[in-house]
Chains A and B, each alone.
Chain A
Amino acid sequence: MFEKNQYGKIAGKETEKVNKKQRLKKSLNENIDTIKAFFPNDDTVVFREIENSHSSFHACLIYIDGMVNVDILSENIIHPIMNSNLKAQGNDRDMLDMLKNKVIYANHIKKLGIVDEILLALMNGDAIILIENSDEALQIYCKGWQTRDLTEPNMEKVLRGPKEGFTESIMVNLSLIRRRLKTPDLKFKFREVGVRAKTSICICYIESLASDEILQELESRLDRIDMDGIMGSSYIEELISDCPLSPYKTIGNTERPDVVAAKLLEGRFAIVVDGTPSTLTLPYVYMEYFQVAEDYYDNYFYSSINRILRCLGEFFTTSIPAIYVALITYHQEMIPTPLLLSIIAARQNVPFPTVVEALILLFTFEVIREASLRMPTPMGQSVSIVGALILGQAAIEARLFSAPMVIIVAATGITGLLILKLKGASIIVRLALLLLSAFMGLYGYVFGIMGAFIYLFSMRSFGVPYMLEYGSINPTDLKDTVIRAPWWYMNLRPKQIAAKNVIRQKVYKVKVK
């Protein structure tokens, strides 16, 4: 049922030089030296020695500057240790417990003994307390680094709807999801991925809706990841995807918590990755390219019109150059006579054949698009002026390109901006259809379309067919595809994804007067 990636492990990969089983010793100074050996000349790691005012108690507080909340340190840890009445207990084990249970005001404390775990805790932003005559240390949760404000993600803006977006901290992101789904069924499963980076990721799902087989398969694929580090969610996406060679995604991503919550309610899985606001959702089907969060927050007529616009936009952006070239070069009898005469007039003395003109202009459009994406704002203006003037006016007047071709490429570019998620795939499909129709006319175009559809229909995303609701004429399936049916019609969840529990709501009849 699942397609597995064929990539195996490379033999002879070296791992870190850390002995995973090294434990603390009983001597405070030896432990301090052990840990100091890992951070030579590193001023970010602070070793703060504390003494108690009522007894001869020594402790050492270790933390990494900039990653801890210093208020908690000084008020909740250093202040009680220094000032409370610590009588020396007989057993050092009891001293640690007394600190943990009675002295330190912290909301979460853990005991650690392995050096590896202590280092990981330090790097996660927690503070470590080492005391004399104990081979265990205390880990106090006091993370407090700078996080970004919750702002609306740039690429997924809505006019009417929540404007919160994910940030780079995994705990904040998970809290945003938890707030929207206050059910005990919502499960979080934490993992660490990446040998050197040890990035935390979290798999979220609603247990009574999500499929167990997909969960098993997902976990087995995540187990196989053996990279150094995960800097962004796209690393994971490429490593666990079903069709790694395809330009079409089988795993979606989003930066909005409300979108993630809605997808979880349909029985999907979400993977939240620490360090990036972009979360993955799987399984992902072709229809989701055309769905935008705003569709569900606005009137359903308007949303349906927008959806149809997007579907048509996808068709136009891949097909317009191909159809134009095919008609002009091979099937001139299909064009109405006045249009034919206008195009002949416009193409007088143009040196390139139509295909070459199309390829050059499409390339130029992509260059302008990519360049203006990376440029700082003051220079962005000059790029648009250059593009408009040079392409629009000068090239046509110099008889290098014809005006109809510039119009065609502009239309292609603008319709391509309707669905940004598909831009990579659109470029490839557009180029392939253009070349096919340049060699074989409309026959080539039709064969190209058939080939593209055969390819799309053969794809699967975690066992779910990629074109899930595409070919069905069953009205229950079509309610959320090309149109957005009103909420009182959407009684069932998508079938293969929420296989356990398909009924979304009881049938809700509206009396229309």
Chain B
Amino acid sequence: MEIEKLAVVSGLAFDKNGDKYVVTSEIVDVKGGRDSKTSTKLITSEGTSIFDATRKNIKVAGKKLYIGHAEIIIFSKEVAEEGIVPVLDWVSRDSETRYTLSFLVSKEKTAKEILKQQPMTSDVLCFELSDMLKAEKNLSYASNVEQWQFINDLADMGVSAALPTVDLTTDDNKLTPEITGTGVFKKDKLIGFLNGEETKTMMFIKDKIKGGLLLKKEYKDSSTTNISLEIFSNKTNLKPRLSNGKITMDIYTNTDVDIGENGGKVNYIEEPARTKLKKDFEEMLENNIKSLVKKVQEQYDSDIFGFGKTIKLNMPRLWKQVEPKWEQLFKNIDVEVHSTINIKDSALQAKSIKVGD
């Protein structure tokens, strides 16, 4: 297959139109010559199944669509809520699709709208979405889930899957896609969403934090201070415990941080202030984790944290007994959180900016 006869697809979007599936592909179109320009086109086609729809692209496009370099697949809300397995089967079975594809769920009405927008910093929208997902490790508002990870989570008994969500936001009167938050799945259906902050807490529990900020506002002497801690690394240990027939999960988090921003007069490097700061943040983190677990247990009842998997790893005999009833049991798990925050240093300045006269 000669290389110039291929149309390179950078991303796909799956929608549903009544009974039919609609597949939109973003094709990278490179103009040759001295100054090569990269531009993208959208090709849409309908079919009774996903494979059918992708094949029907031939009706419209002259070149063969080559999916070997695609990086993003966006599912619409509707498709995800109906059950994602019918849509996912072709993606996993086809030999050309990479198993490192990233999945997104669109919070807008359709997934195609996302692909219609102009990218901000690069020429191809889907490559830009993929870059955004990879850079999320510095913000931790969404977690990058690749195809192999998603399919493993769907298959595992003790974990429910979760996918990052994308929506459109207005920036300077232009609509542009924004990746933030998570979509929560139960079995293979989408049941709800978490916002950015909640996703960060979820990543704390799942031990997926690689960067990000912890924020606090302090009100003191009629002035507000913003204190931001920059996370360098984090290690979370989940330990299940059986006491009086009740399962309790101990969550130990150990975070290394840096004082990134200190907008007030108090010097947090000196001893009494530093210990107080540490305690404050630890408490905040523990509360966040507890409230998120409660929310997920009550509202969604889906084990996205992997508690079941942890019990399977640490207490296999208990897991054998508990497994058939896990769905009802998840609601009643208690959580005890012990967070440790280690303040390593404070970047370039020890004291905050002095204000003279």
Contact = CB atoms under 8 A, between A and B. Distances in A.
Contacts, number: 56
B127 A329 contact: no
A340 B127 CA distance: 14
Given A332-B69, A342-B36, A347-B2, 14 more contacts: A328-B2, A332-B1, A332-B3, A337-B8, A340-B3, A340-B8, A342-B30, A344-B6, A345-B30, A345-B33, A347-B32, A348-B4, A348-B30, A348-B33
A353 interface: yes
Given A341-B8, A341-B38, A333 B32 contact: no
B68 A333 contact: yes
Interface string A318-331: 00000000001110
A349 B127 contact: no
B30 A344 contact: yes
A291 interface: no
22 contacts: A328-B2, A330-B1, A332-B66, A333-B68, A333-B69, A337-B8, A337-B69, A340-B3, A340-B69, A341-B28, A342-B36, A344-B3, A345-B32, A345-B33, A346-B32, A347-B2, A348-B4, A348-B30, A348-B32, A349-B32, A350-B4, A353-B2
B64 to A, nearest CB: 11
Contacts of A350: 4
B6 A332 contact: yes
A164 B6 CA distance: 59
Interface in B198-213: none
B4 A341 contact: no
B31 interface: yes
A281 interface: no
A345 B31 CA distance: 6
Nearest to B71: A337
Given A344-B4, A345-B30, A350-B4, A337 B127 contact: yes
A330 B66 CA distance: 12
Contacts of A353: 2
A333 B6 CA distance: 12
Contacts of B98: 333
Interface of A: 328-330, 332-333, 337, 340-350, 353-354
A372 B348 CA distance: 64
A345 B39 CA distance: 12
Contacts of A354: 2-3
Contact of A329 (B3, B30, B68): B3
What are the 3 closest A-B residue pairs judged by CB atoms, nearest first? A348-B32, A333-B68, A345-B30
Contacts of B3: 328-329, 332, 340, 343-344, 347, 354
Given A329-B3, A341-B38, A354-B2, A348 B31 contact: yes
Contacts of A332: 1, 3, 6, 66, 68-69
Contacts of A337: 8, 69, 127
Contacts of B36: 342, 345-346
Contacts of B127: 337
B96 interface: yes
Interface string B88-105: 000000001010000000
B344 to A, nearest CB: 36
Contacts of A343: 3
Nearest to A336: B69
A344 B8 contact: yes
Nearest to A348: B32
Nearest to B30: A345
A344 B33 CA distance: 11
Contacts of B66: 332
Contacts of A340: 3, 8, 69
B5 to A, nearest CB: 9
Given A333-B68, A341-B28, A347 B38 contact: no
A333 B71 CA distance: 12
